[in-house]
Amino acid sequence: MNAENTAVVTGAATGIGRAIAERLAADGAHVVVADIADGSETVARIEEAGGSAEFREADVTDEDAMRSLFARLDLDVLVNNAAYYAPLVTDKKRFDEISAEEWDTVLAVNAKGTFLASKHALDAFDDGGSIVNISSSVVTMGVPGFLHYVASKGAVLAMTRAMAAEVGDIGVRVNAVMPGFTWSEASQQAGDEYLEDYVDNQDLDRVVEPEDIAGVVSFLAGPDSGVMTGQAINADPGLSYY
């Protein structure tokens, strides 16, 4: 990527989203930090490192907001990272204890948000481009305790394949990253013991950091993955095979 490329990263105020925004900026793109929370710190970090970025407040569940976000943008990369996750880390429950309202909240952000952002980004791709969706390795593992989250990330994976089949003819590639348990502001609420248990079950004895996921996104967003579409890359140090 270069200074003429524009990348939108949703949910980029903190965590994995921030790391992705910083990495794409380091790759040379102008990054639009899109989040319902204040993303000014992410922008400041990018600019301090010599990159180019701007913050736009945006709710991925609001279609008008998504329409406005992508209006008048000449887009090259969209990363659908925004997710409802942090409140679920310490509130695990069996699926029969999940309320309809809780289900709707999670699916609205994780699945509907990915759909709406992709829908309105499509017209902003002037000459092809790349959509990278953030799914999760929980889709392949059936992790208990938050069925609504697992279902939402399964929907993201399914949409990745269906989108890829529909937009390849206009030069837009659509791929997904499936992170394992990543040590970020949100996941740290689970505690050190939970992290240690996860690492013990991985083939690689290491913690996944947001920057690790950002590296995979950088690959899928850039020219080195130019022949890839409809694919998902599992990034969970061997916790599952996909």
Whether 242 is catalytic is no
- In three-state secondary structure terms, 76 is strand
Q: How many CB atoms lie within 10 A of CB 36?
A: 17
- In three-state secondary structure terms, 132 is strand
- Rounded to an integer, what is the distance from CA 88 to the centroid of its chain? 17
The active-site residue out of 84, 85, 149, 198 is 149
Q: How many CB atoms lie within 10 A of CB 70?
A: 22
Could you tell me which of 237, 171, 162 has the C-alpha nearest to residue 206? 237
Could you tell me which of 229, 217, 220 has the C-alpha nearest to residue 171? 229
Q: What residues act catalytically? A: 149
